[in-house]
Structure formats: C-alpha cells, structure tokens
C-alpha cells in the first residue's frame, strides 16, 4: 500500500513569495491533516479535513495560509506571502476516518530566505 | 493545559541499554496516549499507544508505563539497538476528538 505522498520535498524561496505544497493521502482515507513542525519540536495541527470539508482550521493563520481539498482526495496548502518564520517542515497525514490512526507523509521542508 | 511536556530533550545510550523517555500532562480529558518514532527525512510513525485504563503495555521491545494519578507516562526500549536511533515523540489525544498534541521530542542515539 502506497503511503502519503508529498511534494515538493524541499523548497527554498525568498520572503514575500508565495509557495504551495501538495499532498496525496492514502487511497480511501477520508480524513486529511496538515501539520507544521518547527525544528526540534513536535508537529502542530494546522487544519483537518473530513472529505472536502475543513472541520478544524482553528490553528491555521488565515491571513497568509490557505488550504483546499478538492474532490476529497488531494490537498494543497498555500502560503502567501511567506515570512522568515514560516521556515519549517510541513507534514501531511491521513487516516481512514476521524479518530483512527494517522499516517504521516515525509513532509516538505520549507526554507524562507 | 493542552501541553504535553517531554524529557529529556536528547539521550545517548549504549547498545543493549534501556533508554527511558518521560512525558507529563495536565489535561485530564486526554484519553489516548501514542508514541511516535521519526527518522530523519521521514514523517512520524505510530510506535505504540496506551489508554489510561491500563498501567502498562508492551509491544516487542517497546513498553509504555502509565501513571494516571501522576499524569505521567513513559516509553522504555528494551535491548536497544543502533537502528532505534531516532526522534521519539509522545502525544495525547483529547477525549472525543482526534487532535494529537505532541511533546517536544527526544533525540535518541544508541551507540554500537
């Protein structure tokens, strides 16, 4: 069974530029999560989707961050404009349903210069 | 109250030793406590988990000890191997939700 796929794996941009991350969850998984992982820290939830619906986006900085999950499968997380403090690893995870085990992708490491 | 505090930040153990990683929490609404293992360049992967109605759970060389009254839980790795070198995160889940609250992580190194 293929795992959670994320791309790109690495991204280097200058501050104020936009950036987008893509996630393909495990086939059949209805729940999708985006996490932020700062260096030396545990992941922190940004947003959770149940199918196409964002059911928990309370931790998403909505002034510059946006996310979508069209057709309830793939998801995109966008930052516009990026700031220096956004440098981190952005992890995507999926689970068959809410409350079930989450499977994490390898993450996208973002560096903002 | 949503925090999970993890210690130590880093740990070096000789092969065959028993590293112990500790976590503490305040929120009594947490009802599920998983541990994740993360290798460099990879996402976290579920290692073992426990619910507060049991005091210990073993899976292979990994054991969780849980002290509900003290609101503490710990991970023990028996007969540790160099391949166990990774970052370990404890986490907790709020009752009725699936929102993982992670500890700060412990970078474990097992020397040959």
Chain B's closest residue to A59, CA to CA, is B99
How many Å apart are CA A75 and CA A58, to the nearest integer? 18
Alpha-carbon Rg for chain B in angstroms: 13
- For A73-100, what is the mean pLDDT? 93
From A4, A43, A106, residue closest to B102, measured CB to CB: A43
pLDDT digits (tens, 9 = 90+) for B49-69: 999 899 999 999 999 999 999
A-B C-beta contacts closer than 8 Å: 47
Chain B's closest residue to A100, CA to CA, is B98
Instruction: List the pLDDT tens digit at each of the 112 positions of chain B.
Output: 569 999 999 999 999 999 999 999 999 889 899 999 999 999 999 999 999 899 999 999 999 999 999 999 999 999 999 999 999 999 998 867 778 899 999 999 999 9
Asked if B99's CB is within 8 angstroms of A41's CB, the reply is: no
Asked if A48's CB is within 8 angstroms of B41's CB, the reply is: no
The tokens of A77 are what? 């997380």
Output phi, psi for A11, to 5 deg.
-150, 130
Chain B's closest residue to A9, CA to CA, is B41
Alpha-carbon Rg for chain A in angstroms: 13
């Amino acid at each position: 069974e293929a795992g959670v796929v994320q791309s790109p794996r690495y991204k280097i941009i200058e501050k104020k530029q936009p950036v987008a991350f893509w996630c393909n969850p495990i086939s059949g998984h209805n729940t999708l999560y985006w996490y932020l992982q700062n260096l030396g820290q545990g992941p922190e939830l940004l947003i959770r989707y149940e199918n196409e619906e964002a059911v928990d986006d309370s931790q998403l900085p909505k002034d510059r961050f946006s996310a979508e999950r069209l057709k309830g499968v793939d998801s995109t997380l966008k930052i516009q404009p990026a700031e220096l403090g956004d440098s981190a690893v952005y992890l995507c995870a999926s689970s068959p349903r809410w409350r079930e085990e989450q499977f994490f992708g390898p993450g996208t490491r973002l560096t903002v210069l | 109250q949503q925090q999970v505090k993890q210690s130590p930040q880093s740990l070096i153990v000789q092969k065959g030793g028993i590293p112990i990683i500790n976590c503490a929490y305040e929120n009594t609404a947490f009802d599920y406590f998983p541990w994740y293992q993360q290798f460099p360049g990879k996402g976290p992967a579920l290692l073992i988990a426990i619910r507060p109605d049991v005091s210990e759970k073993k899976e292979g060389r990994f054991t969780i000890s849980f002290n509900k009254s003290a609101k503490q839980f710990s991970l023990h790795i028996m007969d540790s191997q160099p391949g166990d070198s990774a970052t370990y995160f404890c986490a907790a889940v709020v009752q009725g939700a699936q929102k993982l609250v992670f500890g700060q992580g412990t970078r474990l190194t097992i020397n040959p």
